[in-house]
Amino acid sequence: MNKRTSVPNYESTSSITHPIISGFPPVPPVTDKAKYPDEPKPSLNGHASKAGLSAFTAAIFIVGEMAGSGMLALPRAVVDSGWIGLILLIVLSLTSCYGGTRLALCWEILEERYPEYRGTTRNPYPSIASRAVGAWGRYLVSACVQITLFGAGIVYLLLASQNVQDLMKPIFPQVTFCTWFIIFALVIIVPMWLGSPKDFWMVGFGAVLTTVLACLFIQVQMVLDGVHSTGYVHHNPKSFKQFFLSFGIILFSFGGASTFPTIQNDMVDRAKFKMSVYMGFSVILLLYLPLVISGYLIYGDRMDANIIISLGRSVLVVLANVFMALHLILAFLIVVNPVCQEVENLFDIPHEFCVSRCVIRTFMVLLMVLIGECVPHFDKLLALVGGSTVSLLTFVLPNLFYMKLCDQESPGSGWKKRPISLHMRVFMWELILIGLFGGIAATYSAFIAIVNSFSFSKACLL
């Protein structure tokens, strides 16, 4: 007797049954998540699972991933951009936060329209691009994410090495910056073998805790330096080149959008990711603003590219160095993880722990070491990445993809256009234009600065 195979109806308002693996628990429709706050997600073994990040934990990951290098480099960037840099810092923070919420909404749209995205997706940002504009968008986003996070990983290792060299110079004066860079890279290889953020959620908490402690020690030392300072604080006129270099650094400091879809994809309730973005950016601004304002008023043009180098010598600076180095290592694990997952997807590496994953991720760390040893200019690399790929991933593409997805409709599938008010559409196009023109200027300025300052004698391997 022939059996009729039932086909699941994904447009139904009732519970949805997994189309491939029998025995899955019913999954509530994405459009009605609020009614099922405690509904467990299906897992591959057919049993219910509540594993995943909460909204608060996701916010912790956002802060841990974004706050480190920005906290060290922003004070000098604001000094080089003049008083308007303070305004620019707040504006770019708010617009970057807005871009993060657009990405969150994009993923909600994908889950609503395509059932295959309701499970775990290894490369969520490229998936958003593919559904919004097609294959070219997927390739563009994949390339930008790889460059951004790969570059950020190099910057984090360079900064950690610089801080530790400054800290350990009295004890190990013969150990150079280049040597510390290699040491940190070797230490980070084994933790790199972990899977995705949900597999090392304590890293996110550790990154935030070390950031807050380092920020506290730096802020106290800056106040002490200001109290004992008797000299005049100089603020010389700045050039357009300095301004756009600073623009790129500020962009980089708020450029966490490339990891947002990955973090959201690991959440229990992905609809709450917008709240995570709001919480994360609020904490980041609270960390950044006091340091930036203090640096501008107390040090002025005496500010180093790395704020810790500008501080007076004390126990507070030692503690700040220790905690900031720890933060940069922990943040490195967060920002590089999406790059690893994307590369593993290209080679069809299993999601589970395996030897292939270890080989791929070890090779990536070694490649970072090679680049970092050849071009050890963290501030200029930071501005280059911030002005190029970060401006695209944070300001241009989230708004473009959101408008494209909202404008799509498919009567046969039950999709309808999502209305966007005229003033919001104009606002998003303004952000796109600012991201494009500002990013191009910042990228050009950073590239010229790298070329002009490059010296083969400063490269560690030459």
Each residue of 352-371: pLDDT tens digit?
Answer: 778 888 888 888 888 888 88
Q: How far is CA 206 from the centre of its chain?
A: 16
Averaged pLDDT for residues 27-36: 36
Amino acid at 376: P
What does the pLDDT read at residue 48? 34
Residue 41 has pLDDT above 80, yes or no: no
Most confident of the ranges 202-211, 256-265, 411-420, 430-439: 430-439
Taking residues 101-107, what's their average pLDDT?
A: 90
DSSP designation for 395? I
Q: Between 229 and 438, where is the model more confident? A: 438
The string of pLDDT tens digits covering residues 403-435 is 999 998 876 777 788 889 999 999 999 999 988
Q: pTM for this one? A: 0.75
CB contact at 8 A, 85 and 75 = no
Tokens representing residue 411 in the block: 């009567």
pLDDT at residue 27, as a whole number = 32
In this structure, the number of other CB atoms found within 10 A of the CB of residue 192 comes to: 20
Q: Which residue has the tokens 């700040």?
A: 320
* Integer Cα distance of 112 and 418 in angstroms: 12
Rounded-to-integer distance, Cα 69 and Cα 243, Å? 19
Inter-residue contact 19 to 115 (CB < 8 Å): yes
Residues 6+ apart with CB under 8 A from 343: 146, 360, 364
Contact 371, 181 (CB under 8 A): no
Which of 106-120, 160-174, 212-226 is predicted least confidently?
A: 160-174
Q: Which two tokens stand for residue 37?
A: 């706050």
For the chain, state the CA radius of gyration: 23
Q: Which residues pair with 53 in a beta bridge?
A: 267
- CA-based torsion, 200, 201, 206, 208: positive or negative: positive
* Choice among 3-7, 82-86, 129-133, 368-372 with the minimum mean pLDDT: 3-7
SS3 for 125? Answer: helix
Average pLDDT for residues 320-338, to the nearest whole number? Answer: 80
Instruction: Look at residue 36 and tell me whether its pLDDT is greater than 50.
Output: no
DSSP state of 48: E
Q: Tell me, what amino acid is at 28? A: P
User: Phi/psi at 109 (nearest 5 deg)?
Assistant: -65, -45
Q: What per-residue confidence (pLDDT) applies to 195?
A: 65
Angle at 81 between CA 75 and CA 83, to 5 degrees: 85
Closest listed residue to residue 133, CA positions, set 402, 383, 319: 402
User: Which of 15-29, 40-54, 321-335, 423-437 is modeled with the greatest confidence?
Assistant: 423-437
H-state helical runs in 231-272: 240-253, 260-265
Amino acid at 3: K
Confidence band for 401, pLDDT divided at 50, 70 and 90: very high
Task: Return the exposure string of 115-153: e unless at least 16 CB atoms fall within 10 Å of the residue's CB, then b.
Answer: bebbeebbbbbbbbbbbbbeeebbebbbebbbbbbbbbb
Do 85 and 78 contact (CB within 8 A), yes or no? yes
Phi, psi of 27 (to 5 degrees): -110, 125
Q: Can you tell me the distance from the alpha carbon of 443 to that of 95, in angstroms, rounded to the nearest whole number?
A: 19
Averaged pLDDT, 170-182: 81
Residue carrying the six token digits 């968008």:
137
Residue tagged 């791929």 (tokens): 360
Which range, of 10-14, 63-67, 223-227, averages the lowest pLDDT? 10-14
The per-residue pLDDT for 140 is: 93
Residue 116 has pLDDT above 50, yes or no: yes
Of 55-64, 179-188, 311-320, 453-462, which range is least confident? 453-462
Q: Look up residue 350 and give its two tokens.
A: 């299993």
Distances (CA, A) of 27 to 227, 304, 360: 61, 54, 35
Beta strands 41-42 and 48-49, pairing class: antiparallel
Per-residue pLDDT at 34: 39
Q: What is the average pLDDT score of the chain?
A: 77
The percentage of the chain sitting over the pLDDT mark of 90, rounded to a whole number, equals 10
Both structure tokens of 61: 């990951």
| H or E stretch covering 42 | strand 41-42
Q: How many CB atoms lie within 10 A of CB 93?
A: 20
Backbone angles phi, psi at 16, to 5 degrees: -110, 135
* Cβ-count burial 58-69 (b if 16+ within 10 Å, e if not): bbbbbbbbbbbb
Judged against a pLDDT cut of 80, whether residue 111 lies above it is answered with yes
Residue 191, class by beta-carbon neighbours within 10 Å (0-12 exposed, 13-18 middle, 19+ buried)?
middle
